[in-house]
Amino acid sequence: MSSTVLSLVISYPWATQLKVDLFENQVLNNRHGFVSAKHNHTGEIVRFWQIQLKAWAMTCPDLRKKYSSMLVTGSFKSNPKFENLIKDFQIKHGIKPDGIIGTEMFRVFFSRYFFDPVNPSRNLGKKEFERRYFPLLSEAEYRRLREIKATTCLSRYKVTKRLPRSFSAKEILTNRHLYQKFEEICLDITGGNPPISVRTFLEICAKYNVDPTLALAQAILETRFGTVGIGARLRNIFNVGITDEGGTIEYKSFEEGVEAYCRLLSTKYHKRAEEFLASDCKRKDGWGRYATDKLYAKKIHILVSKIRSHLLSNDNQKFNQNNNLSEGKKGRLVLL
């Protein structure tokens, strides 16, 4: 059963966006799957959960009055009671009351409840949820899916070649060979004059535990590490918030720009190249969560692969970056 469900959702031949979001809510135990005020906080999946949880609250005498006036808005911001409702459900079902709808709460809820969206007083149960959406994964199937997630996600976005081994920023900072190789790339890309010191760049990545090879790849793709384009003039190495429609964000220093990018990845996206490529680069309509370039995933994959291969090499060959890669579209507007 699990392989059938997975193939249907991965290929998206029939799935509505709500079904896709629900499936990710069931299996992705991270910010991409979570529904909360700090993660997926607006849209149809939020509206769906508001309907379901309000209907559940109406079955609880001690909660009925508290939530009877709660509106279904499809947003956390416009519905301050919703987070408290999530916590009340979690408390009553022995789940940590963190206000996050994650994989555990998903399975606890839909193994017991599914309220009719047209007539919320009717609990149609697990079988009806599975009939309308997809079968719930068992614990064994869930564990199996987690094991193959990286492979299937990369395949989903047509980035099937496995990346070379990753290195953390702390590893590079403390390993002389790796640091020299990383510095070589930065110097080659910028003509020997990077706008921010390589050590400072790595230290900021280490502070937020961001994959330095992903950060460098994006810096190269967006502004050739802060040396070309409007992002270089605005000290915005990653073109954060710079859009084709004229949106701009200027920073006081290149260090501030790198720090803002690392915070952005830490709060809204993924910090490792593998997860970023799988979850943030492309959606079924061809537009990405992070950038509007439909080939963004492919370009980042190529650059990360080249960067990691260079770090692993023992020769003195210069970093070979395809200059055409730095002509992609800018990142989507995200205000920090």
Q: Which two tokens stand for residue 16?
A: 């509505």
- Report helix, strand or coil for 86: helix
Tell me how far apart the alpha carbons of residues 88 and 95 are, in angstroms, rounded to a whole number. 10
For residue 216, the model assigns a pLDDT of 96
Tell me how far apart the alpha carbons of residues 268 and 161 are, in angstroms, rounded to a whole number. 26
For residue 329, the model assigns a pLDDT of 41
Q: pTM of the prediction? A: 0.52
For residue 314, the model assigns a pLDDT of 79
- Report helix, strand or coil for 75: strand
> Half-sphere exposure of 32 toward its Cβ, with a 13 Å CA cutoff?
21
Which amino acid is it at 282? K
Helical spans, DSSP H, in 133-272: 139-156, 169-174, 176-190, 198-208, 212-223, 229-233, 254-268
Q: Which residues make Cβ contacts (< 8 Å) with residue 26, sequence separation at least 6? A: 33, 103, 106, 107, 136, 137
If you ran DSSP here, which 8-state letter would residue 43 be given? S
CB 220 within 8 Å of CB 327: no
Tell me how far apart the alpha carbons of residues 172 and 179 are, in angstroms, rounded to a whole number. 5
For residue 164, the model assigns a pLDDT of 83
Report the b/e string of 193-231 with b at 16+ CB within 10 A: ebbbebeebbebbbebebbbbbbbbbbbbbbbbbbebeb
Which amino acid is it at 289? R
Spacing of C-alpha 119 from chain mean position: 34
Please state whether 229 falls in left (phi above 0), alpha (psi between -120 and 50) or beta. Answer: left
> Half-sphere exposure of 327 toward its Cβ, with a 13 Å CA cutoff?
3
User: For tokens 């059938």, what's the residue?
Assistant: 4
Tell me how far apart the alpha carbons of residues 239 and 250 are, in angstroms, rounded to a whole number. 9
For residue 231, the model assigns a pLDDT of 86
Q: How far is CA 18 from CA 44, 47, 303, 329, in A?
A: 6, 10, 33, 28
Which amino acid is it at 183? E
Strand partners, 331: 291
Q: What is the pLDDT along the chain (336 residues), one digit of tens a residue?
A: 334 344 434 333 334 678 888 888 888 888 888 999 999 899 899 999 999 999 999 999 999 999 999 999 999 999 989 999 999 999 999 999 999 999 889 989 999 999 998 899 999 999 999 998 888 877 677 666 655 554 555 555 455 566 788 889 999 999 999 999 999 999 999 999 999 999 999 999 999 999 999 999 999 999 999 999 888 899 999 988 877 667 788 999 999 999 999 998 888 888 888 778 776 665 544 444 566 677 788 888 889 999 999 998 876 666 655 544 443 344 432 322
For residue 298, the model assigns a pLDDT of 82
For residue 161, the model assigns a pLDDT of 62
Which domains can be identified in the chain, with CATH numbers?
A: 2-152 (1.10.101.10), 169-327 (1.10.530.10)
Nearest to 130 by CA among 14, 284, 22: 22
Altogether, the residues listed in the chain come to a count of 336
Tell me how far apart the alpha carbons of residues 59 and 61 are, in angstroms, rounded to a whole number. 6
Compute how many other C-beta atoms are within 10 angstroms of the C-beta atom of residue 77: 10
For residue 19, the model assigns a pLDDT of 85
Spacing of C-alpha 269 from chain mean position: 3
- H or E stretch at 20: helix 17-27
